[in-house]
Every structure is written in structure tokens, then in C-alpha cells.
A and B are shown apart, each in its own frame.
Chain A
Amino acid sequence: KNEVEQSPQNLTAQEGEFITINCSYSVGISALHWLQQHPGGGIVSLFMLSSGKKKHGRLIATINIQEKHSSLHITASHPRDSAVYICAVFTGNQFYFGTGTSLTVIP
């Protein structure tokens, strides 16, 4: 069973397109993270959310606690945004990770 589900698994977009990645979870959480992983394995934390919405540059993350759902949006996508985006939830005891969304942005 997967506590965290992401969609889509793979996404290809043209440069400049608006991108949405979705995350649904089945456990009670105290925080949700959006992570970015580039080839080679390094993971960078983009956002940590417990409610509402956060924006950082071209990235926007939203969470709906009642619906157990979060979205990551990328506006005006760029080839350097190509990476795997992982949703992770913290239950208070442990982190659970989605399998990631592999994004490729084509020039």
C-alpha cells in the first residue's frame, strides 16, 4: 500500500507551459514537503506546508487538509526545471514519500 500517491508519474512539457503535479495521501499528517531530485540523487526541499498556499518564484504549492491533497504548480516552465518532484508527508513519527513525478521540459 502507498500512503502517498502522485500523478502523473511522467510529464513532458514545452518551455513556458504551466505545470501541475498532484499528491494525495491517506494518513494524518503534520507537514507535507515538496522535494526536487536531480539526476545523481541530490534532493532539495522546495516547500514545507501544513495549510494553505506558498509561493517561491515560479513555484506555487497548495494543500487541502480536508481532502488530503496537495498540488505543486510551476509557471513559465524552463528546461532547468527538469527533475523528479517528490511529495513527502510527515505523520509526526515518520516520513512517507511518493514515487515521484519525472518532469522533462523541452526547449
Chain B
Amino acid sequence: GAGVSQSPRYKVAKRGQDVALRCDPISGHVSLFWYQQALGQGPEFLTYFQNEAQLDKSGLPSDRFFAERPEGSVSTLKIQRTQQEDSAVYLCASSPIRYEQYFGPGTRLTVT
């Protein structure tokens, strides 16, 4: 069916607020990746799931960042106590096999 979808597309949060970003991958895709893209930069890896298992979270910048994919499909990236440096586009990608990537449109987070 449809491609990868993300919601919300835009989020403005006051510093200190918690936010939750959602990713709906392509149905049947085993792998799911989260990336953070700062303005003018390429995406930076945050975390990777294979089904419901979070196999790599080495890119999460701090313990304020948490991601889950409890049923192996939809994933949520949660950022607690947002800071201004968290402002970025958060991209989700899913794939049927690891070396392919199908990207969502991203969520632009602005922390004021």
C-alpha cells in the first residue's frame, strides 16, 4: 500500500516538554530506522529495530531519547525534557532487508 508515514509532520515544543513522534512503516517491513537530520546536514543514525527488537541504539544522543516498536510495526520516538539542540527533522525509514531504505517524510521538531 502506501509508503512510510510519519506524524506529526511538524511539532513545536516548549523547552522541557516531552514529545512523541510516530512512524508507520511499510506493511511487512522487518527493519525500521530512526535518523536525526539537523539543518544543512545529512541524516545521523539514532536507532534500529528488527521487528520489535531494538538491535542498535548507539546513536541516541542522550537518555532523554527513547524509542519503541512493541508489536514490530508502528514505532514511536520519544524525547523527554526537550532542549533547543533537539530541533531537527526526525526521519524514519523501513526496509524489507537491511541494505534498502524507504524513507518517510519526516517530522520537523522545533523546540522554543
Contacts and interface: CB of A to CB of B under 8 A. Distances in A.
Contacts of A45: 100-103
Contacts of A99: 40-42
Q: Chain B contact residues: over half helix, strand or loop, or mixed?
A: strand
Contact of B105 (A35, A42, A90, A92): A42
Q: Chain A contact residues: over half helix, strand or loop, or mixed?
A: strand
Contacts of B35: 97
B21 interface: no
Nearest to A30: B99
Nearest to B103: A43
Contacts of A44: 103
Interface of B: 33, 35, 37, 40-45, 48, 56, 89, 91, 93, 98-106, 108
